[in-house]
Amino acid sequence: EKGGFEHFMLKEIYEQPRSVRDCMRGRIYPIEGKVQLGGIKDYADKLKNVERIVVIACGTSWHAGLVGEYLIEEYARIPVEVEYASEFRYRNPIISEKDIVIAISQSGETADTMAAIELAKERGATIFGICNVVGSSIPRITDAGVYTHAGPEIGVASTKAFTAQVTVLTLMALYMAQQRGTVKQSDLVSMLTELDEIPTLIEQALKSDEKIAEIAEKFKDSSNCLFLGRGSGFPVALEGALKLKEISYIHAEGYPAAEMKHGPIALIDEDMPVVFIATKNSSYEKVISNIQEVKARKGKVIAIVTEGDKTVKEMVDYIIEIPACNEAYLPLLATIPLQLLSYHIAVLRGCNVDQPRNLAKSVTVE
């Protein structure tokens, strides 16, 4: 059942080239530069004119929502707010029939997310779901939706469900861009052509597994860890930190790299590992200066870099390479090494990676 892997989590990490591919199947047409999402096609007109989108979710699904915010705002130019379902439901949110709410949930059973959907529905919003478990509760109470098709996720720590959620949000952002004309047709062709290659690039990213296991040896006894990134690297940092804390019980924090100097920098010393998302994209130079700030204080730096990068390599203690890709798809690749890093650290610490203490696969109580 674990397909030769020692744990479900590792099996599910390795399934990602396939699960991301399955998620895109029949939905992208690179040659035509077209995205087709049958689940929400009845709302094409509403999407053309909508003035605001609100995303509600919990945990890892909320991190996927933050990636969605970057993508939808960048490509479809629609303002997006991302809220924890548990906060949204208790704070009399301003929401009306003009809004579209996107609820994200792997299990489709999370109590807080369901309650937030009910509240938004009462106020007349249109609700889309992004769920993995077919026929679960959330898809039954939403107006429309897009399944992630990642297949059953057994490991309590979400891995392939996260990348599938990000894939659906990418498809939604490009679909909205297509409806609204905010991305040129020729750019849609090239973006979809590159998206089609992402499963192959995920496969390449998985090849760093052995190297990551060696890096894990060096950090298995740490009691804290910081994860820093900018732009869509920030939600990736949050997700990396969540993975590490939930399965290895090491205290970890994700931060936007620029926020470091507003507090967390006080924590940096020779015992503090800092994981940077330092790939070659629009924030590369800025991230490099953040790395310098950490090195000046003797922090230990592990950097996720673009294949072939030499500048960052010379500055840091360890690098993990991922293939170059369009900045829009960075979260789909940069998340992979972070999943592997937390997996190996947790195994080395003797933790039960598939069933971490105090956690349940679906949180059906508030």
Residues lying near ligand F6R in the complex (CB under 6 A) are found at 58-61, 105-107, 110, 113, 157-158, 242, 246, 362-363
Which residue, 242 or 341, is less far from ligand F6R as judged by CB? 242
Q: Is 196 exposed, middle or buried (0-12, 13-18, 19+ CB in 10 A)?
A: middle
Write down the least CB distance from residue 253 to ligand F6R, Å: 16
Write down the least CB distance from residue 117 to ligand F6R, Å: 11
Q: Is 361 in the active site?
A: yes
232-267 burial, b if ≥16 CB within 10 A, otherwise e? bbbbbbbbbbbbbbbbbbbebbbbbbeebeeebbee
Which residue, 213 or 363, is less far from ligand F6R as judged by CB? 363
Q: What angle do CA 81, 84, 86 make, to 5 degrees?
A: 140
- Are the C-beta atoms of 16 and 99 separated by less than 8 Å? no
Which residue, 170 or 290, is less far from ligand F6R as judged by CB? 170
Which residue, 244 or 287, is less far from ligand F6R as judged by CB? 244
271-282 burial, b if ≥16 CB within 10 A, otherwise e? ebbbbbbbbbbe
State the Cα–Cα distance between residues 37 and 34, nearest whole angstrom. Answer: 10
Write down the least CB distance from residue 232 to ligand F6R, Å: 18
State the Cα–Cα distance between residues 209 and 151, nearest whole angstrom. Answer: 23
Which residue, 145 or 323, is less far from ligand F6R as judged by CB? 145
Residue whose token pair is 């204080």: 297
- Are the C-beta atoms of 39 and 177 separated by less than 8 Å? no
What SS3 state is found at 2? coil
- Phi, psi (degrees; rounded to nearest 5) at 228: -130, 140
Nearest to 151 by CA among 134, 171, 170: 134
Which residue, 112 or 321, is less far from ligand F6R as judged by CB? 112
Write down the least CB distance from residue 24 to ligand F6R, Å: 20
- Are the C-beta atoms of 47 and 100 separated by less than 8 Å? yes
Q: Is 154 exposed, middle or buried (0-12, 13-18, 19+ CB in 10 A)?
A: middle
Write down the least CB distance from residue 20 to ligand F6R, Å: 17
State the Cα–Cα distance between residues 277 and 108, nearest whole angstrom. Answer: 30
- Phi, psi (degrees; rounded to nearest 5) at 321: -90, 145
Cα radius of gyration (the chain): 20
- The residue number whose beta carbon is nearest to ligand F6R equals 59
Write down the least CB distance from residue 3 to ligand F6R, Å: 21
Which residue, 15 or 246, is less far from ligand F6R as judged by CB? 246
Write down the least CB distance from residue 311 to ligand F6R, Å: 33
The catalytic position among 121, 220, 295, 361 is: 361
Active site residues: 361
